[in-house]
Amino acid sequence: MPAQQPKIFNLFHSVQNGVEKVGFDIYDYKMLFNDEATKRIIREGDSIGCFYIESPGMRSLLKKMKSDTFEMLTAISSVIRPGVAESGMMAEFVARHHDPSRRKYLVPELEDVLGETYGVMIYQEDVIKVAHYIAGLSLEEADLLRRAMSGKMRSHEAMKKIKEKFYSNCIKKYSPDITSELWRQIESFAGYAFCKAHSASFALLSFQNAFLKAHYPAEFMSSVLGNQGGYYSAAVYVQESKRLGLKILLPDINESEIEYTGQSGLPASSTANCPAGWIRIGLMAIKNLSTNTMNTIVDKRNRNGKYKSLRDFLRRTNIGNAEASILIQCGAMDCFDVNGSLDKLEPAILDKLEPAILDKLEPAILECSVPMQSERNVTREQNAALTRPMLMRMLDIELHRRKITTDDVFNLFADSVMDVEQQIKNKFTQKHEANYSIAEICKIEYETFGYMVTRHPLEFFNAYTENQTISPAKELRQSKGRRVRAIGWLMTSKRIRTRKGDIMKFLSLEDLTGTFEAVIFPKEYEKYAPLTISMGPYFVEGYVDKENGDTITVTKLAVLSANKALRAKQFDDAENIFRNTEKTLGEEFRVIDSMREELVYRSVYNF
């Protein structure tokens, strides 16, 4: 009886692609590799956020290659590996890609073996092919050579025998110089090279990432931020999102999920000016907010609806002062605007007070019972600025209320006392509490999220950035080969040793218009090394690379001084962070004067 043959009923993707939900198939390779927007990202190196191709070195290589095919991206993913790059063959590969006349082969037989990669060995398979077809080793010996150079074979004796056979076979056909050069090329990169399948899988994932970034930027960048990984810090991805035209929305207890969320092409509200879409910061980005609190906020909201007021939020979540303060200060409760979050001081409540108590009330407090026209006409953003300090005051009241209601001692007048206390406190706060300045908001954002949302750090250095002698990043390509001055905030940096053992450094910088690289060679690095441990902002002067136009070879470098910037220009709101904000004597008197309200509370309690 003949053996039964296995039957293959169907083949499935290893990951369910959910085409019905998203409207596209990420595994449709014909569509993927021919999508023009995706190819533009690959070709121009606009790949921040995309797996494996987002590093400064990789983006620079993509710009040099100007290639957008899957096959070439596969080669690029391997050629950037340390062995090829350090041997000088990466630069040669780029040159041969653009100039066919430079595609020369060490021996004629190499054209058949390495024609696809212009005669440069970039894959581990290339080692096997050269060792087998050129040096005459068996396939088994060629694979042993590959494994040995990858550090996977521990037998030094076996390696010695393979090397001897390689030389003895090659010397029969080629000169000693050619034989030695073949061995050097193999030896220089084999330990770091990818196998082609590995490189191809990386290139495929890079293409898929680029497709998502091109067509679904908000969803893609929000996922990158939610991963809390990648080559760069979250601050870099936030600024990249802004450059893509996305609006970054602060966390919101009524809107935010635990992770970052985003939607492309639709505004988050009727007033949001974000044609490209929006990203909402997730609760996970808030430092010192516990996982249990995040889950509670989202779970209670999903079950019982949005939070209507600070009191409602505290009652339903039961979180403490520390975490509630963080949420208020970072803007997560800006949804409680002035008109929506505060109760009006009803005249009926005042009527219930004793005349003796009313006599002690400040006239200004009573005037607050009817909002002024200028207060009613404030915008949403102004409401938010007013609300945060007010909510901080209200938080104290609500926590005091919680203490009274949970006290073991029964208080017959507890409700009346707390109602009067809150009404008076709210209206006094609305009248007298100072708004958070732009500088204070940015400082809170940086401390809470690790990055600024409301302003970019360079916006505090307008005296420099608006100087006509400073070249914006987006205009550097127009100055190839010329001497320029530029200002940038640090994205990332890398320090390396040259072949001579000297140290040099690469700085990846961004300004308000784009990104650029600053290369500090050993001679300059000796002078400026202590300055390069800062986040910046950096002032750099040097020559723009003639080939790419996005790299400056540094001749001068400095870290900008905020004090000098402010001396060069009068203060504005965005620069108050650099001023001495200590309260004046007059402000101290007003604070002391405001303490009179304590007399009101004491009178109420005594009553």
- In residues, how long is the chain? 607
Cα-based distances in Å from 492 to 56, 260, 516: 9, 23, 11
* Across 171-189, average pLDDT: 86
Distance, CA of 249 to CA of 281 (rounded, Å): 6
Phi-psi region of 565 (alpha: psi -120 to 50; beta: other; left: phi over 0): alpha
Distance, CA of 67 to CA of 76 (rounded, Å): 9
**Which pairs with CB-CB distance under 8 Å and at least 24 residues apart come from 316-322?**
317/293, 319/293, 321/395, 321/399, 322/288
Give the pLDDT of residue 346: 36
- pTM over cut 0.85: no
Q: Which two tokens stand for residue 381?
A: 């953003």
* Across 559-568, average pLDDT: 59
For residue range 465-483, list pLDDT tens digits in order.
888 999 999 999 999 999 9
* Across 581-591, average pLDDT: 42
pLDDT band at 337 (very low <50, low <70, confident <90, very high): low
Give the pLDDT of residue 311: 86
Distance, CA of 268 to CA of 280 (rounded, Å): 9
* Across 238-263, average pLDDT: 95
* Across 265-285, average pLDDT: 74
DSSP secondary structure of 543-587: EE-TTTSSEEEEEEEEEPPHHHHHHHS---GGGGGGS--PPPHHH
473-477, 570-574, 598-602: lowest mean pLDDT where?
570-574
pLDDT band at 195 (very low <50, low <70, confident <90, very high): confident
Listed by start position, the domains of the chain span 19-201, 462-559
Q: Measured on CA atoms in the order 343, 346, 350, 352, is the torsion positive or negative? A: negative
Cα-based distances in Å from 527 to 77, 468, 522: 35, 27, 9
The DSSP code for 592 is H
**Amino acid type, 81:** R
* Across 67-80, average pLDDT: 93
Closest to 326 measured CA to CA, from 391, 280, 418: 391
pLDDT band at 407 (very low <50, low <70, confident <90, very high): low
What percentage of the chain exceeds 70 in pLDDT? 71
Give the pLDDT of residue 275: 65
More confidently predicted of 306 and 391: 306
CATH of region 462-559: 2.40.50.140
**Amino acid type, 59:** R
